[in-house]
A and B are shown apart, each in its own frame.
Chain A
Amino acid sequence: MNTFVTETVSILTNAAMLFVVAAGLTLVFGALRLINMAHGSIFMVGALAVASLASGLTGGWGFAVALLAAVGLCAALGAGIEVSILRRLHDREPLAQLLATFALVLVIADLAQRVWGTSDRTVATPVAGRFTVGGAVVPEYDLVVVGIAALVALGLWLLLTRTATGWRVRAAVEDPETLAVGGTNLPLLRTGVFALGAGLAGLAGAAIAPLESVGPGLDTQIIVAAFIVTVVGGLGSVAGAALGAVVIATVEGLGTLWVPSYASSAGYLVMILVLAVRPWGLFGTPDR
């Protein structure tokens, strides 16, 4: 019983973080039709920013301030990248944008090493409490992480389905010309969506910082995980990202339990299987 609870909580926490990272990636793809390979790099910047801020800002509220600052920094970074680079490539083939963001992975990795050094950092858990469920000890911070993911999911759902901005974001792919004629500032909309995606990457990075050691290499590690989740769920679909996150977290969680040495390969196998059957992912559309 208590192994079951411990495993469920660990899988849920993992799924929650994967969802927040993947949601940002899939949102950007949905509105801009580009895959941001630097998404993981922005995630790393978020984690590193919290790691340096949290040493001064301690306790639950201090951490919350550090987290918000990191999200703001990452959103600003995203907006800067979109305006200075990606906007110029918008009318080019998808390859150009993919390569540009790949270039950013290299650039940000070295810049981050300049700023934060090469050693791994740890962040003290801001909420240290624990409680017992069914004989298993559950850290309260895990619930905070799951709560953040639930808020992000709710927020994105409200934004995309209940607001005029969300309607425009969806229309920006379907029919950009008509939307522009209707008075929508498309470049601003795209910058906004990209900044939101980057902010989500930063949020995930900041929230995961107390759970893992933070340092170089985090960028490539997380971007591959985010790719798997979004591709399994279907690029462009936020619901798909949620489903993909749960599927991948479950597979990896059970894999760690049953076949520890192959747990890290399990996610890739699921992705390859899904794509072999549905090349556009579970919730994606087959138009590409």
Chain B
Amino acid sequence: MTVLEEKIPPATERTTPARPVRRIIPLIALAAVLALLAAAPYLVTVTTILSLEQVAAFAVFAVAANLLIGQAGLVSFGQGVFFGLGAYTVTLGWEHAGLSFWEGFALAPVLGAAAAALIGLVALRARTLYFALITLAFSQLFYQLVEQNTGFTGGANGVFAPVVPAWMLSPVDGYLTLLAIAVAALAVLRWLYKSNFGLLLRASRENRARVQALGTNVYRLYLLAFTVSGAFCSLAGAMFVVYNQGSNAELFDWTTSGQAVLMSVIGGMYTFAGPVVGAFVYQFGHDWLVRFVSDWQLVLGGVLLLVVLLRPDGLAGALRLSSLRNRTRGRR
């Protein structure tokens, strides 16, 4: 983290409290963005609204994944497990248990948390790169299981059924519902980010041994983070059903998990809002580029490479959105 350390201003500067004006500006900006998003149905085409539906789900997915990736420094290539689980809870609950969409939707984060707690118990025994690989293996394991159990899950074809309530089928209503859910979910995640829990996560990323020495059981802390992340990734998966009108096995694949990593890193994994920026850039970058070229992955890989080489703090860092260091400092 040498790159970031250079940016810490001297101690004297640190003790100055932020001016009230500087606190209000972000709030105004946030209100403006929310107002724009709420008014979007009057401003943009239906195609864009459908893209925004995906962004709503992806933003929750990316921020939840970034709780591990950027905050805790646990690079998980397995968050697709929970995204897929959330989507399948809704569709299979409807198909096999006769659950309504909202019953499945409420069940998704619960199942996501339960699965994450179990998987985390094993996966968190591994450190750094091993953790990345074991989570990737879980992603592929679920993908294979879902694809092979054709009788229960529909196999590679997935489950596409009229599960979404009829009134939400109109893009505008579906979008506004997802937007409301996304805002609520992100508010909870934001609260977690600012809480002592979030602070401890960032502290253990910087120095795990010290946090452990100060009396925090880091393994349990990480397990809690993994469970919370799993719950919200699962919620995001359930949200995705509204856009997708169903669930398919690819949602479990490690490339889905990789998408969360991409959005977090490109958007800026050391900030709260970075992954949200990443979700917007990812979706609209994709929509815009595929009109001209077929090599979307090539561009995506190129952008990721540039970010990693030149701006490890991502677009949010380049735009000088409030950095992680400022946040940590503010709470001292």
Contact = CB atoms under 8 A, between A and B. Distances in A.
Interface of A: 29, 35, 85, 88-89, 91-96, 98-100, 102-107, 109-111, 113-114, 220, 224, 227-228, 231, 235, 261-262, 264-265, 268-269, 271-272, 275-276, 279-281, 288
B251 interface: no
Interface string B301-314: 11011001100100
Interface of B: 1-3, 73, 75, 122-123, 125-130, 132-134, 136-138, 140-141, 144-145, 148-149, 254-255, 258, 261, 265, 295-298, 300-302, 304-305, 308-309, 312
A114 B295 CA distance: 9
Instruction: Determine the main DSSP class of B at the interface with A.
Output: helix
Contacts of B254: 220, 224
B129 A106 contact: no
Given A268-B140, A275-B122, A275-B130, 15 more contacts: A98-B75, A98-B132, A99-B304, A102-B261, A103-B304, A106-B297, A109-B297, A111-B298, A224-B137, A231-B134, A235-B130, A261-B148, A268-B137, A268-B141, A275-B134
A99 to B, nearest CB: 5
Given A114-B295, A272-B138, A35 B305 contact: no
Contacts of B265: 99
28 contacts: A89-B309, A94-B128, A96-B312, A98-B75, A99-B265, A103-B305, A104-B301, A106-B298, A106-B301, A107-B297, A107-B298, A107-B301, A107-B302, A110-B301, A224-B254, A227-B133, A227-B137, A261-B148, A265-B144, A265-B145, A265-B148, A272-B137, A272-B141, A275-B123, A275-B134, A279-B125, A279-B130, A288-B130
Of A91, A99, A104, A276, most buried by chain B (CB within 10 Å of CB) is A99
B122 A276 contact: yes
B75 to A, nearest CB: 5
Contacts of A279: 125-127, 130
